[in-house]
Structure 1
Amino acid sequence: MTILNWKLLTAFEAVARHRNFTRAARELNVQQPAVSRRVAELESDLGVRLLERTRPYAALTREGEVLYRAISGSVLQVNSAVEQVRCQPDRNTVTINTTIGFASCYLMKRLPAFRALHPDISIELISRDKNDSYASDTDVVIVFDHPDKLPGIHKTAIFGETMVAVAHPKIAAAIKNRLCAVMDHPLLCLTMGIHADDWRTYFTGTDLEPRTPGPEQKFTSFMVYLQAALNGEGVMLGWETLLQDSFDLGQLAPVTDRRVETQRGYFACLMPRVENKPSAKIFIDWISSLAQATCEHVEFG
């Protein structure tokens, strides 16, 4: 059994997630050549190429996609575990429960800013594909749902749902902002309960009816669903604010101008056990303020 160097795996995971060596180096707080060397060493150990080093973005090879899908969630979980067991007697820890998709696409890239503002508060991140059950030792739950179905004693909106159809830029260019042309491409589908009818919701008010997806178009993991869209396997439905970084990097693009707003959204929920814990409320106030420039800030109960 081959034992791989964790430092090499984390470097590859960061490059694969950002599709960019410089951004990965910035996240890992090292120089870009160091990241490049680590990825090259990992490729040498495995005997395969994991990345095509194109400019300005790196592209995953078939082998790279396989490895990235296997480790993307694990890296987040291990990093969270390290934070949990690290001896920090003088720091105030807030435990955050959220999905891997929200953590990977939104929260992880913004946490350094929170730590800079609040160096005395340590964040313990618990992430999984679905977070519909919450451990008794969780301080804050970040959940995607309807406002009337949220856990906790205090709920604050992070950003509401603006549903948008997105795809690899080559597919977006072929569709040319024609809604009917979306139907010419595979419609990728999240099959988790709350998302099962997303395409029907998106096409409401039009004369278009989404096709029943084939097995290869169904996904239960958001990160695998996202990777399929990044690979150019079809059109996915996403959330504009959540995917903004992918738009900025040129990895994905909206295929039409159609936007569908719903009552759902991402919410930060304070759990009963930390009602009087100031640091948990500080985190909630901070994360709900991030999207205020583009989204209305709404509080519930």
Structure 2
Amino acid sequence: MAALNWKLLTAFESVARHRNFTRAAREMNVQQPAISRRVAELEAELGVKLLKRTRPFATLTREGEVLYRALAGGIMQVSGALEQVRQRPDQSCVSVNTTIGFASCYLMKRLPEFRAMHPNISIELISRDQNDAYDTDTDVVIAFNHPDRLPGTRKVLIFHESMVAVAKPALAASIGDDLEALAQQNLLCLTMGIHGNDWATFFDGTGISVQPPTTDQKFTSFMVYLQAALNGDGVILGWETLLQDHFDLGQLAPITDRRIETLRGYFGCLMPRASDKPSAVTFLDWVSA
């Protein structure tokens, strides 16, 4: 019996349950002759007749009754188990949706630490250039915003915004702590989402106003915006924690001592589908620590 084809057994069970080949074929989404062939093949394997092909209903033989009683409950149990498996994702895999900027500048360098601490948990990293259209079909969303504008059943702070003007070290040194001189530089602007007024926020209260950005100064991708600063094309506004590695490597440097702290920041959000998933909670606790 162990060598019998599951396809043959399920075909017979469907015909036996419906007592009809046509209905069984419709249920299994095949043509009626295919069902008939499968049942015939099963009978040949067993060496007995299982069904009497009468009209309008097929009739089970004694051997057919014995096999049907054995199969009926088992197939229902297997079908239920398969449905449960389909609906329940792998509990050891955590899908994390975040921006390319956060993944590249912050998360990727730290993930080996998490994997060393939790070798039985795997991380599926889903990244995009912008993270405004939050993907609900994921376990954890990491996004930059005000916390009350973010999704999820639980939201934890990873780090608050500390906005700082940033450029290549030589340019930063030439400006020093002079805000007036800073305002005269080529100020590059991240225009996506909630970042459109960041320079106005940075200079708020100083009495210094900045001109609206030209087309050449506008960027909709954080990674291209960051690369422009690395190329020496101008000054950007960044987040101190996010860019710390670039400071440590001497690729970029803060300009002036001015820091703007806001209620915005990077938050990890536990999505509804992962509310009872321990591995997702473990990741969220780690990334916010």
Do both share a fold (TM > 0.5)? Answer: yes
Q: Is the 8 A contact 1:91 1:120 kept in 2?
A: no
Q: Which residue number corresponds to residue 148 of structure 1?
A: 148
Mapped to 1, the partners of 2:106 and 2:134 lie a distance apart of 20
Bigger CA drift: 176-185 or 113-122? 176-185
User: Is the partner of 1:257 in helix, strand or coil?
Assistant: strand
The answer to whether structure 1 residue 138 and structure 2 residue 138 are counterparts is: yes
Mapped to 2, the partners of 1:182 and 1:149 lie a distance apart of 32
Mapped to 2, the partners of 1:159 and 1:135 lie a distance apart of 21
Structure 2: unaligned runs, 5 residues or longer: 1-88
Mapped to 1, the partners of 2:131 and 2:139 lie a distance apart of 14
Identity of aligned residues (%): 69
Query: One-letter code of the match for 1:163?
Result: M
Q: Which residue number corresponds to residue 159 of structure 2?
A: 159
Q: Which residue number corresponds to residue 185 of structure 2?
A: 185
Q: Is the 8 A contact 2:96 2:138 kept in 1?
A: yes
Q: Which residue number corresponds to residue 277 of structure 1?
A: 277
Compute the displacement of 1:91 (Å): 7.7
Q: CA RMSD in A?
A: 1.3
Mapped to 2, the partners of 1:221 and 1:117 lie a distance apart of 33
Mapped to 2, the partners of 1:134 and 1:160 lie a distance apart of 20
User: Is the partner of 1:110 in helix, strand or coil?
Assistant: helix
Larger Rg: 2
- Structure 1 moving runs of 4+ over 3 Å: none
Mapped to 2, the partners of 1:135 and 1:232 lie a distance apart of 35
Mapped to 2, the partners of 1:156 and 1:135 lie a distance apart of 17
Mapped to 2, the partners of 1:157 and 1:229 lie a distance apart of 27
Q: Which residue number corresponds to residue 108 of structure 2?
A: 108
Q: Is the 8 A contact 1:190 1:222 kept in 2?
A: yes
TM-score (norm: length of structure 1): 0.65
Compute the displacement of 1:287 (Å): 0.5
Matches within 5 A, 1:237-256: 237-256=237-256
TM-score (norm: length of structure 2): 0.68
Query: One-letter code of the match for 2:177?
Result: N
Q: Which residue number corresponds to residue 126 of structure 1?
A: 126
Q: Is the 8 A contact 1:163 1:259 kept in 2?
A: yes
User: Is the partner of 1:259 in helix, strand or coil?
Assistant: strand
Task: Kindly provide the CA deviation profile for residues 93-140 of structure 1, in whole angstroms up to 9, marking residues without a partner as x.
Answer: 000000000000000010010000000000000000111223342000
Structure 1: unaligned runs, 5 residues or longer: 1-88, 290-301
